[in-house]
Structure 1
Amino acid sequence: MALQACHECGTKISSEAKTCPQCGVKPKNKTNTTSAIFGGLVAVGVLWFYFGGGLEKQAAKQLGDIHNQVAADSVAQYEIAKASGTPMDRCVQAGLVTAAYLQAKDDANYKIWKQVESADCSTAGVPR
């Protein structure tokens, strides 16, 4: 229990006192003020995150990461079909890779894989 000066009359009073015994004024509680300010800032931050676009940005980034992973997995499956599959397997897998890059909105890789798909499907006897 620490002593502090009353903000009204200057009398030394306990930090736990409800009122000053000299003048009867309630002491200011700096801890409650600090906690209220900190709590208010946290609340504003949480509200901004949810309503100010933070959540949407995070979701969009995660969705982009998922699209890129799907495309990478499709390329790995194509490599397996290329190594041990039939020409038709390569054609189908190349089409899946092309679709994955289209979904990921990766125009450069989409164009490259569209050409690979066309060549593989031509080899398999499927016109594109």
Structure 2
Amino acid sequence: MALQACHECGAQISSEAKTCPQCVAPKNKTNTASVTIGGIFTIGIIWFYFGGGLENQAGKDMGKIRVQVARDMVDQYNIAKASGTPIDICVHAGTVSASFLRAKDDYNYALWKRTEARDCDAAGMPNQ
């Protein structure tokens, strides 16, 4: 039988006692710090899922994916430019500009729209 300090008055009581014989406080079976940390953790999880944390993370991830797709489209354009027909080059320039539009990259979108116009004119397909 070990002795413990009462959580109310600090008196030494038996680990088997249900209440403190000095102040009659019930024995504290849970650690207050662990309950507090658990509560904070639970609130954090609830906020993350219902307060927008998950949506914000998904938005950031989608932004990264869209940028990567645009880079991949540039790589495909370069392949078409090296070995494709003028129409292939025109079409790929259009997909690159569309991918930058989707990625919300206004600067590169404008650059690629000019490239698309130039390549489509060279293919005999002027933009309207």
By the TM > 0.5 criterion, same fold?
Answer: yes
Partner residue of 2:42? 43
**Percent of pairs with identical residues:** 58
Across the aligned residues of Structure 1 and Structure 2, the Cα RMSD in angstroms comes to 2.0
Q: Once the two structures are superposed, what CA deviation does each residue of 1:93-113 show, in whole Å capped at 9, x if it has no partner? A: 000001101111110000000
Letter in 2 for 1:60: G
Q: In the superposition, relative to structure 1, how do residues 5 and 85 fare at CA in structure 2: closer, same or farther (>3 Å)?
A: closer
Partner residue of 1:18? 18
| Aligned-pair CA distance for 1:23 | 6.2
| Aligned-pair CA distance for 1:56 | 1.1
Partner residue of 2:3? 3
- SS of the residue aligned with 1:17? coil
1:97 aligns with 2:102: no
How many residues in Structure 1 have an aligned counterpart in Structure 2? 126
Q: In the superposition, relative to structure 1, how do residues 125 and 29 fare at CA in structure 2: closer, same or farther (>3 Å)?
A: same
- SS of the residue aligned with 1:99? helix
User: 5 Å matches for 1:66-81?
Assistant: 66-81=65-80
- Structure 2 stretches of 5 or more lacking a match? none
| Aligned-pair CA distance for 1:86 | 0.9
TM-score (norm 2): 0.86
Letter in 1 for 2:60: K
